[in-house]
Structure 1
Amino acid sequence: MRVGFGLPVSGSWATPDLLAEVAVEAERLDYDSLWTFQRLLVGEDQAVDPVYRSVLDPLVALTFAAARTSRIRLGVAVVNLPFVSPAVLAKQVSTLDVLSGGRVDLGLGVGWSPVEYAATGAVAERRVARTREYVAVLRALWADGVSAFDGEFYTVPPSRMEPRPVQRPGVPILLGGAVPAAIRRAGEIGDGWVSRSATNLSDISSDVALVQEGAASSGRASPRVVCRGVLKLTDLELDADGRPPLSGTFEQIREGTAWLATQGVTEIFYDLNWDPLITLEPAAARDRALEILHNLAPVGLG
């Protein structure tokens, strides 16, 4: 089980100093990866959870972290593909991979906010077909030699995009998704699946089976299953009966992480951006975040 950590990108703890401190400390403590997520904007009257109201750009935040680290991997879970051209994203991600020395993981989703769809001029229809082409375009642009793509939605004239990613044949692509068909597709056309904040982790083995089924259908081996770990930390130990895997004391959360590994999860990242005591309480954010970072360091879980 690889263990990562969510960078401070949402709410009051998303400051330059704390982002840098968390990145450096996570690397020192041998966490495997750092993660961000995307939220472009929120409508004036749109009802959303507090975590989505103020969010740093995910790729810029990762670039900031990359400049202060040297080994830890850098992932985004996820960039919503309808909002940006695949050629533009291919260039951005390739550049980050070069500047970081080959440490990037790219998560892709289709988005859910009608406000963001309207603001970006994105098209909601036929998202599955568009996703398949989008992934194919990224891989074509990252391939060696001259790239070209002529699809229904995207066209790339014969061309070269340099520099190419350090990672060959390209940056790993993880797909998000919540419905069975989307989870299966993550294994079929991607390098794996990344779960969302609302995923029922107690039943994640069924999602893992779908990812593996999709990978097998296209001859892919060992798909990655990356879990966004939203914690429910308590001072007192919770009863085992009905307790979600990442709830309770630090010890119980570590036990839950080990249990998720037995269910087929290959990687987890603890994401404190969903913790209101951190994102909404600036005075306590740093101390609480660093306490969690230290107490859940991946000793014995690697």
Structure 2
Amino acid sequence: MAEKVHFGIGISTAVDEVEETLRLSVRADRAGLDLFTVSDHPYYGARLDAYAQLGFVLGRTESIAGLVSVTNLPSRPAPMLSRTVTSLSALSGGRIVLGMGVGGLWDEITRLGTERLGPGAAVRAFEEAITLVKLLSGGGDPVTFEGEFYQVTGLEPAAAAAAPVWTGSVGPKSLAATGRVADGWIPGHAADWLSPRYRESRPVIDEAAAAAGRSPADIATVYNIPGVITETPLAATRDAEGRWLGGSVAQWTEELTGAVLEHGASGIIHFPVGDTPLDISLGRWAEEIVPAVRAATAPRTA
């Protein structure tokens, strides 16, 4: 998979948690995490706009990259999304990854005045959007694009290089589109490297990538992993169905080291759960677990 393993943290988009979220974001940056992620639900008034939050946090930090996981594409037309992402890239020194989704909560999405698309059309629009966003990045000649859903005429690309595109694909058609045009995949529903979802979905991506003349190894798999980080070990780190629950720093380190070395995980984004204060969870994650996994998975020199 990807040479570098990306470690990140999911942060809140709640309007009433802004102060704490900004403080934790700065701490995550100073602790050396690679990514922070925010969700994109613009139809909820109690949530911050994802890209406004992303830009503000990037302005407060120095090294950490931002990811909207994943962009609600139906509410953000591809040409303007490309301008947003390339602008944030230019302003932040390239500290952005573009997360892309087909769109899931259509009853909510249509409240924004967006036209409802059927499943097949939504996937076609998704693939078209990724292609166009990339065409409008990295400079070059003006772009004319005549697609089913997007049309631009003689539009000048932004100078900033295209951001890596990671998708939240779930269905087979969307997974195949990821294989053809994206750079990474985030399995849905917090599925991990041992899940049936991963085992059944990743081959669809790989087959589509190979058919398009791409190397499947160039498409990263990045996991959203919720779980508690406890002071003492848990008797069981997974439930009866095999879903990860969490555990101590040592238990997390062992599990994630295996995920990288044995299952080729390219990135792991932690979402704290449970009653542990966020400061403590972030400290254990960023200052203990991540450095330990990085050390255990670093290339060995002769």
**Under a length normalisation based on structure 1, what TM-score does the superposition of the two structures give?**
0.81
Residues 148-187 of structure 1 aligned to structure 2 (within 5 Å) = 148-162=144-158, 164-165=159-160, 167=161, 170-187=162-179
Alignment match, 2:75: 83
1:216 aligns with 2:222: no
1:250 aligns with 2:243: no
Residues 1:209 and 1:86: Cα distance change in structure 2 (over 3 Å): same
Partner amino acid for 2:87?
A: T
Alignment match, 1:263: 263
**Under a length normalisation based on structure 2, what TM-score does the superposition of the two structures give?**
0.81
Residues 3-82 of structure 1 aligned to structure 2 (within 5 Å) = 3-11=6-14, 14-16=17-19, 18-42=20-44, 54-82=46-74
Alignment match, 1:50: none
Structure 2 residue runs of 5 or longer lacking an equivalent are none
1:118 aligns with 2:121: no
1-structure distance, mates of 2:292, 2:285 = 14
1:226 aligns with 2:222: yes
Contact preservation (8 Å) 1:5, 1:35: yes
Alignment match, 2:92: 100
Residues 1:300 and 1:289: Cα distance change in structure 2 (over 3 Å): closer
Alignment match, 1:202: 194
Moved over 6 A (4+): none
2-structure distance, mates of 1:81, 1:127 = 9
Residues 1:266 and 1:91: Cα distance change in structure 2 (over 3 Å): same
1-structure distance, mates of 2:17, 2:213 = 41
1-structure distance, mates of 2:183, 2:290 = 26
Residues 1:68 and 1:159: Cα distance change in structure 2 (over 3 Å): same
Contact preservation (8 Å) 2:15, 2:47: no
Partner amino acid for 2:152?
A: V
- Describe the SS at the equivalent of 1:195: coil
Partner amino acid for 1:64?
A: F
2-structure distance, mates of 1:287, 1:231 = 13
Offset, 1:227? 0.8
Residues 136-147 of structure 1 aligned to structure 2 (within 5 Å) = 136-143=131-138, 144-147=140-143
Contact preservation (8 Å) 1:9, 1:61: no
1-structure distance, mates of 2:83, 2:142 = 15
- Describe the SS at the equivalent of 1:230: strand
- Describe the SS at the equivalent of 1:70: coil
Alignment match, 1:47: none
Higher relative contact order (CA 8 A, sep 6+): 1
Residues 1:129 and 1:180: Cα distance change in structure 2 (over 3 Å): closer
Residues 1:263 and 1:277: Cα distance change in structure 2 (over 3 Å): same
Alignment match, 1:49: none
1:249-273, Cα deviation, whole Å (9 max, x unpaired)? 222222222222222321111123x
Residues 1:292 and 1:2: Cα distance change in structure 2 (over 3 Å): same
Contact preservation (8 Å) 1:86, 1:134: yes
Offset, 1:89? 0.7
Contact preservation (8 Å) 2:190, 2:223: no
1:130 aligns with 2:133: no
1-structure distance, mates of 2:264, 2:281 = 30
2-structure distance, mates of 1:246, 1:184 = 30
- Describe the SS at the equivalent of 1:93: helix
Offset, 1:247? 2.0
1-structure distance, mates of 2:63, 2:135 = 27
Partner amino acid for 1:208?
A: R
